[in-house]
Amino acid sequence: MGRFLIRRLIHMFAVLVAVLIIVSLLLRLIPGDPVDAMMAGNPGMSQENMDAVREQLGLTDPMYVQVMSYSLDLLRGDMGESLRFRSPVFPLIMEKLPATIELTVFAMIMAILIAIPLGMITALQRDRPADYLGSIVAVIGISIPSFLLGILLILVFAVEWRIFPAAGYGGSLTGSIRHLVTTGDPSPLGTSLRYLFLPGITLGVAAAAYNARMVRSAMIEVLGQDYIRAAEAKGLPRRTVVLRHTLRNALIPVITILGLQIGYLLSGAFVVENVFAWPGIGRFSVQALSWRDYPTIQGIVMITALIFLTINLLVDVLYAMLDPRIRIG
């Protein structure tokens, strides 16, 4: 296990370095530099001023010097200054990150909570009406773009029925849980959940539908195995056979894709945040792109890649613990 972990960590580091280099190089190919973007707001800026600012920001250095100095700063935890806010990038991103993590985790939990029962029922009811209905729902769930689902949910639950707010953020979820624990007052938690619900569902539905199909086919495969027949033959209750012998084994392939799925959910969060005006890094990055705020974009890409790689590493470790055969490979 130790060597497996070390090899994976080295690999992860190499990938991060490559991401860093490629992203820095690509971002400098963007037409128009940040000084042009600044000038758009200050028509009075003279050519000399612009050159001075470029010099000051290090934009006149050769590309490799810019990339090198950025990397060295990064090792010290310094991601540079946002060109827009004139303040360090790292705290800016960290300020927005919790909202994105809350949204993604909530969506993931939704995806699992919907997928397992749906997959189980459709597998056990194979080729009966419940199975057909579940499968139709799953295909639609996979086919509906998240932004579109978001709009439709807003139309129904916020515009027509006014049950949930149409957009916005109801305060930090972890903060409100802490508030509940320390003061016993549940109202902030209620508010943040009310705001979280529609974007969370929107983001989670596609993953839920996909997982439900996976659980279904994995369950069907496991149900056909000899050891299930043996378990039934020795008279174990149906419940035990389904939950302990079948579901547990059927979940292994699902766990392996959860890592990749976090990537999809993060991608999806970037879109969903813009639909629901959710103040996370997804919305922030679309704004940063329009401001041509290189250091911020670069910071967001690096942090997202780091999170994504860490999750994948954790999933691999989890998988290796569940299935010892993997460690050898």
Partner 1 sequence: MSNAQIAQPAAGVTSPQHRTGVRRLLRELFRSTKGMTGAILVGLAILAAITAPVVAPHSPTKTSVRAKFAEPVFIDRSSDFLLGGDNLGRDTFSRILYGARASLAIGFLVTLVASVIGSFLGAVAGFRGGIVDTLIMRAVDLQLSMPFILLAMIVLAVLGPGFWSVAIALTLALWVNYARLVRGETLRIREMEYVVSARAIGLADQRILTRHILPNMLHSILVLATLDMAFVIIFEASLTFLGLGIQPPTPTWGFMLSEGRNYLSESPWMTVFPATAVILTVVGINLLGDWLRDTFDPSLRTR
Q: HSE on the CB side for 177, CA within 13 Å?
A: 5
How many CB atoms sit inside 10 A of residue 202's CB? 28
Stretch of 40-48, 73-81, 173-181, 302-310 lying at the interface with partner 1 (CB under 8 A): 302-310
Cβ contact 88:79 at 8 Å: yes
Q: Which is nearer to partner 1, 231 or 301 (CB)?
A: 301
Span 23-82, contacts to partner 1 by CB under 8 A? 23, 26-27, 29-31
Q: Does 282 bind partner 1 (CB under 8 A)?
A: yes
What radius of gyration, in Å, describes the C-alpha atoms of the chain? Answer: 24
What is the rounded end-to-end Cα distance, in angstroms, of the chain?
12
SS3 state of residue 186: coil
Q: Which is nearer to partner 1, 159 or 314 (CB)?
A: 159
* φ and ψ of 88, to 5 deg: -55, 140
With CB under 8 A as the contact rule, the residue among 216, 223, 247, 278 that binds partner 1 is 216
Q: Does 4 bind partner 1 (CB under 8 A)?
A: no
Cβ contact 271:202 at 8 Å: no
With CB under 8 A as the contact rule, the residue among 20, 93, 251, 271 that binds partner 1 is 271
With CB under 8 A as the contact rule, the residue among 154, 189, 219, 251 that binds partner 1 is 154
Tell me which amino acid residue 24 is.
S
SS3 state of residue 225: coil
Q: Does 22 bind partner 1 (CB under 8 A)?
A: yes
Contact residues for partner 1 (CB under 8 A)?
Answer: 11, 15-16, 18-19, 22-23, 26-27, 29-31, 131, 135, 139-140, 142-148, 151-152, 154-155, 159, 213, 216-217, 263-264, 266-268, 270-271, 274-275, 282, 285-286, 289, 292, 297, 300-301, 304-305, 308-309, 312
